[in-house]
A and B are shown apart, each in its own frame.
Chain A
Amino acid sequence: MSNHFPLEIVEEILHRLPVKSIVKCTSVCKAWNSLITRQTFIYDHLNRTIQAPNHNSSLFFQFRKLMLPRSLQQEETYSLYSSVNQQADQFSVERFTPSHLFEPNHYMLFVGACNGLVCSAEFSPLKSTTIIIWNPSLRKYIVLPKPITTYKKRSRQYLGGYVNPKYDIAVGFGFDSRNNDYKVVRLMNDRCTKDTPHVEVYALASHIWRSISVIVPQFFLNDHWRLPSVFVNGSLHWLVWRYDDFDAAAYQQLGVRLNDMFILSFDVIQETFRELTLPQQQPNEQAVISRLLPVEGSHSLALVNHVSMKWGMERVLCIWVMKDYGNANSWTEIFRLDGGRYGGILTVLALTSSGKVVLTLNNGAIVLVDPIKKSVEHVGLGRMYEVFASSFVESLLFLNKEPDVLSF
């Protein structure tokens, strides 16, 4: 009977395998190979993974060795942390070899992760800038064509420093659900000219960049250019400053004034920008650092404010959620973390769908904290690194995209 074992059943079994095992099965026989590499199977697999109850329990991390003065070398490593099925936690680190595509002295941004694909971009206004989309599970990547709008003059770049004096470059990566396509958007602000920012969109299906002329609110990224874009509800989001209000000296001295900031959002389908308002700042509190995060699984945005009580020493992390997406009145503070807890909290990296908070601690440890049950799960060490995290689903995207797609 097994000579005629129905492919329909084989397909059902394959959908229950991890990505690496599915890829292994492409070499079983030609019938299985064509079944697995079919676009419908790849999309089916993705949809089933997203709909599975535990799908957001994987976390993708980018670690970066901190830039030292006079050292031009830097190194990124990536790893996937998975606590699916309550199985033993694993922390696997994989070296990212296509880094040779990037200039060694340029900063490599973790732009974002979406449906198992990761976008990494060189932070550079120059023509040579490299942007790639890759699938870490399959070790496959695609190099994007060079963007249209670039600048010729090499400006001084303060890579480890606090602002890039000349340009703001914001890059975002998201999924266009209407066209089943993945898009990279790149915004460039030349601060000297005060022109409206240049906007270019790359779509994976066409593999080309398009300049789009849209109205973009004037913005200023400040030191937030390092942070990944936040893809929620079909839109990309960046936490930015209002251009006219930004006072660098005051920022250095006093920290963030939320009233000077807003969320710049880009609708990936419509390709339009809008502003979202932040929660009102409490009069007796002062935000030192703010960070935007997606609330996994709830199509909503979260804001993490590191707050110091006026002229007091203690530091508190306030986590706000915009419960009704787009409605500024729906910002709600959902909980606070004392900055001194767990031996000192450095920052919040991510919020998981199960209500857990991913933290980096002062001692370099990365932990998953359940603020209600007060449980602490040790994820690994991030010492000496700058760390970014994102929820992650393993997918088969790029499996059949030869020859545009390369392997590493």
Chain B
Amino acid sequence: MSSSVEAITVLSSDGDEFKITVSAAKLSKPLNWMLEDVCFSDDCDEVPTIEVNSKTLVKVIEYCEKHAPRANSGASDSDAEELKKWDIEFMKMDVKDILFHILMAANYLHMEGLYDLACQTAADLMKGMTVSQIRKIFHIKNDFSSEEQEQLRRQHPGCSFD
């Protein structure tokens, strides 16, 4: 890889082109490996595709660009505090529409920080939900019979399922 390259172009699964700086791309292990393997000079016409849709990739790149300076150079406590606040704002998104896509993308791109953050956000949302609300957001069909459900309730008297 040429050291002069500061940003690379990638394609989303929808075929849209996105620019991501090299330092930000390093937050993802697979992207980092790609940087080492593929020629990214300007005259190279090969553009790698990331199996993440455009809407999600925008968010993933936004996260990477924000976190790259800290990941590469370390940060002071005040920076870390600021970043935490930014993460909270960043995660204010629709669950079904985007959070689940972010989870899958972070898992697929091996981005530990984003994966942890997205899992925690999903968990925090689920804490207050009923079982049927949880099924709804995960698009899960209830495959228990009513007898089985009744049995589960009896098994766990200490927990509310509603």
Q: Give A residues with C-beta under 8 Å from B.
A: 1-3, 5-6, 8-10, 12-18, 20-21, 23-30, 32-33, 137-140, 402, 407-408
Contact = CB atoms under 8 A, between A and B. Distances in A.
Interface in B75-104: 96, 100-101, 103-104
Contact of B142 (A10, A16, A18, A29): A29
9 contacts: A1-B100, A5-B104, A5-B138, A5-B139, A16-B122, A21-B127, A27-B131, A27-B161, A407-B154
A407 to B, nearest CB: 5
Mostly helix, strand, loop or mixed at chain B's interface? Answer: helix
A388 to B, nearest CB: 22
A139 B158 CA distance: 5
A13 B131 CA distance: 15
A9 B158 contact: no
B155 interface: yes
Contacts of A15: 119
Given A1-B104, A8-B107, A407 B123 contact: no
A402 B103 CA distance: 34
Nearest to A135: B158
B160 interface: yes
Given A2-B96, A14-B123, A25-B126, 4 more contacts: A1-B100, A3-B139, A24-B134, A25-B134
B135 interface: yes
Interface string B136-158: 01111111100001001111111
A138 B158 contact: yes
The 10 closest A-B pairs by CB, nearest first: A139-B158, A16-B123, A2-B139, A23-B159, A12-B119, A13-B122, A27-B152, A29-B140, A407-B157, A13-B119
B34 to A, nearest CB: 22
Contact of A2 (B100, B107, B158): B100
A28 to B, nearest CB: 5
Contact of A29 (B101, B120, B144): B144
